[in-house]
Structure 1
Amino acid sequence: DYDARVGKATLASIIDTDEGAAHLGEVALISKNTPIRESGVLFYNTLYDENASCHLALGVGFPECIEGGYDMSKEELLEHGVNVSSTHVDFMIGTDDIDIVGITPDGREVVIFQNGQWSWE
């Protein structure tokens, strides 16, 4: 299920592309301390602008993230957790004050992002 205050029809057209379009294909954690972000320029081009902010993408995942992924069938990719779709649409979600805490399998919390940047920066 999904909803949007603005652009719901656009979101629907993305999600309705195919079965995989309703699933995540990418989660990218991008520090606010990147050259693209620090330039202050909005390029209106996802290939540049996605390097300025944390983002999620609906649709196809990256087969190159799995050893031998380029040689796998659709079914094999799905078995390995790589989403398959004919679309890939990024949504920027980063902010200057975003905090991200990971949870390990044993329940321990690990600070990954603090105030928009990697915890070790």
Structure 2
Amino acid sequence: MIDKTYARLANTNALSEVRFVHDYVQFIFEPHTLSLYAPLRVLAEGRSLGPNDVGYYDRICSLVGQHLIAVARQENEQLEFAFSNGAKVVLSLRGEDAVGPEVAELSTPGREIMVEGYGR
């Protein structure tokens, strides 16, 4: 199931590109660009990796070619993006973890840009 905020990512193309931009990550699901600004972790093969862990960037890049199969929200706690290979990208929605005003941004050419902030 895809959280309604991210519904336009349902039945989209596989992840085609990952961009590491300064302190955030962009996931490209043509034609959509999902920018994740909140602190995130990658859960895969029984491990939880953050930006300071060895293998974190490789694990994120390994998602290229995978389909997004679910987006689950635990209100004010976390947002979880699940991929077809079983890996998950998890973002904190807790205000105390905020590094800026936005959690994420979803842009699609010709459509309104969706920006999610803390406390929505």
State the TM-score, normalized to the length of structure 2: 0.33
Higher helix share: 1
Structure (1 or 2) with the greater strand fraction? 2
The structure whose Rg is larger is 1
